[in-house]
Amino acid sequence: MAVNVLMPALSPTMEQGKLAKWVKKVGDTVKSGDVLAEIETDKALMEVEAVDEGVLAAILIPDGTENVAVNTPIAVIAAEGESADAAPVTASKPVSPELATQKPAAAVSASDAPTAPVVAIAAASDVPPGTPMVAMTVREALRDAMAEEMRADEDVFIMGEEVAEYQGAYKITQGLLQEFGARRVIDTPITEHGFAGIGVGAAMTGLKPIVEFMTFNFAMQAIDQIINSAAKTLYMSGGQMGCPIVFRGPNGAAARVAAQHSQDYAAWYSQIPGLKVVAPYTAADFKGLMKSAIRDPNPIIFLENEILYGQTFDVPQMDDYTVPIGKARIHRTGKDVTLVSWSIGMTYAIKAADELAKEGIEAEIIDLRTIRPMDVDTIIASVQKTGRCVTVEEGWPQSGVGAEIAARVMERAFDWLDAPVVRVTGKDVPMPYAANLEKLALPNVGEVIQAAKAVLYR
Could you say which of 82, 261, 355, 362 is catalytic? 261
Asked if 214 touches ligand TPP (CB under 6 A), the answer is yes
- Measured from the CB atom, the residue of 281 and 309 that comes closer to another protein is 309
The answer to whether 15 is a known catalytic residue is no
Rounded to 10 degrees, the C-alpha dihedral 75/79/83/87 comes to -50
Distance of CA 65 to the CA centre of its chain: 29
Binding residues among 175-194 for another protein as defined by CB under 8 A: 187, 189-191, 193-194
Burial 360-383 (b: 16+ CB within 10 A, else e): ebebbbbbbbbbbebbbebbbbbb
Residues 28-67 vs ligand TPP: string with x where CB under 6 A? ----------------------------------------
> What pairs with residue 312 in β-bridges?
137
The answer to whether 192 is a known catalytic residue is yes
| C-beta separation of 443 from 349 below 8 A | no
How many other CB atoms are there within 10 angstroms of residue 26's CB atom? 14
Asked if 258 touches another protein (CB under 8 A), the answer is yes
From ligand TPP, another protein, none, interface partner of 189 (C-beta below 5 to 8 A by class): another protein
Q: With CB under 6 A as the rule, give the number of residues binding ligand TPP.
A: 6
Q: Which helix (H) or strand (E) holds 36?
A: strand 35-40
How many other CB atoms are there within 10 angstroms of residue 293's CB atom? 28
Name the one range near another protein by CB under 8 A: 44-52, 242-250, 359-367, 381-389. Answer: 44-52
Binding residues among 189-248 for another protein as defined by CB under 8 A: 189-191, 193-194, 217-218, 220-221
Name the one range near ligand TPP by CB under 6 A: 213-221, 225-233, 328-336, 442-450. Answer: 213-221
Asked if 221 touches ligand TPP (CB under 6 A), the answer is yes
Helix (H, G, I), strand (E, B) or coil at 93: coil
Secondary structure of 433-457 in the HEC alphabet?
A: CCHHHHHHHCCCHHHHHHHHHHHCC
Asked if 10 touches another protein (CB under 8 A), the answer is yes
Asked if 192 touches ligand TPP (CB under 6 A), the answer is yes
**Taking CB positions, which residue lies at the least distance from ligand TPP?**
218
Q: How many CA atoms lie within 13 A of 241 on its CB side?
A: 13
Q: Considering all CA atoms of the chain, what is the largest pairwise distance in Å, rounded to the nearest integer? A: 83
Residue 160 burial by Cβ neighbours in a 10 Å radius (0-12, 13-18, 19+)? buried
Residues with active-site annotation: 192, 261
Q: Which residues bind another protein (CB under 8 A)?
A: 6-12, 32-33, 41, 43-49, 51, 70-71, 103-108, 161-162, 165-166, 169, 187, 189-191, 193-194, 217-218, 220-221, 254-261, 427-430, 432-437, 440-441
Q: Which residues bind ligand TPP (CB under 6 A)?
A: 161, 190, 192, 214, 218, 221
